[in-house]
Amino acid sequence: MSFKVTVLGSSSAIPTSSRFTSAQIVNISERFFLIDCGEATQIQLRKFKIKFSKINHILISHLHPDHYLGIFGLMSSFALMGRKNPLHIYCFKELKELIDSQFKYYYGSLGYRVEYHFLNQDVSEEIYNDNILTIKTIPLKHRIPTSGFLITEKPKELNIKKDIISYYNLCIKDIIQIKRGFDFIKENGEIIKNSELTEPPISPKSFAYCSDTLYNESIIEIIKNVDLLYHEATFLLSEKDRAIETYHSTAFDAATIAKKANAKKLLIGHFSARYRTSDELLKEACAVFENTIAAEDGLVIEI
């Protein structure tokens, strides 16, 4: 099962010559989730060869323009491309007002249904559930209501050992039952223990997306032991006062959260345009949490 994160935008507030504003694509077994949709997101989707038709779910963390301005153009392009599938948008309710206002004078119907799922700032709650994954919110601390997202695979079935199927001449029904943990009963009544037939599955993987937020230890319990943590790192520690003033985090803050949450890997991003490169931000984070990488537009991470 594939689980990939593609960074489409890694700049904060305004795009730069090398970075667009916040957007990421999460692909889990060809289920595509767009998280945030900053300016020019659809250009990045084309550049990195991600099919528009694959995107049925858009998660918007909050209503600062660098996190949602691209949604209007993307939705318009969906319509012009003849989209028919429903589009699910997970957001705070004010975004619906902005979208309705934007398309009030649209030349015709979008041609597809838009289904809104409104977020609750006050609690962590499940907003998506299917047969392979769940998504729950992560309440963040910013100047306006803001939510992160925790995407977690569901536990996988057991793996049948090599040659077991042919050795016992298993039928489809037998295979399904064994993968679910049942023993195998031969025609003569002999019981073959499940542990002799199977191997443990690969552990479920998880990804936490923590966009704009002040340093906030209350999220640690929610994201504990996550495989990949994306945490904004807008400023260096030398700009801590500015970070607090704007309800943002430093690279040091992001690394501290990763360390306390026992994350496997940290991805920092949302860098202020004042920094020409991410080198110093990465250096600051790595001093606290070694397994840190810096977001770059186009970066693909396999979890």
Q: Write out the catalytic residue numbers.
A: 66
Cα gap 246→146, rounded to integer Å:
13
The partner residues of 3 in beta bridges, in order of sequence, read 28
C-alpha distance from residue 147 to each of 62, 174, 234 (Å)? 7, 44, 17
89 touches 83 (CB < 8 A): no
Instruction: Count CB atoms within 10 A of the CB of residue 194.
Output: 17
Q: Which two tokens stand for residue 290?
A: 């070694």
258 touches 266 (CB < 8 A): yes
Instruction: Count CB atoms within 10 A of the CB of residue 106.
Output: 12
191 touches 204 (CB < 8 A): no
Cα gap 210→268, rounded to integer Å:
10
Cα gap 84→77, rounded to integer Å:
12
The partner residues of 90 in beta bridges, in order of sequence, read 59, 117
The phi, psi pair for 205, rounded to 5°, reads -100, 160
DSSP label at residue 202 = P
DSSP label at residue 264 = S
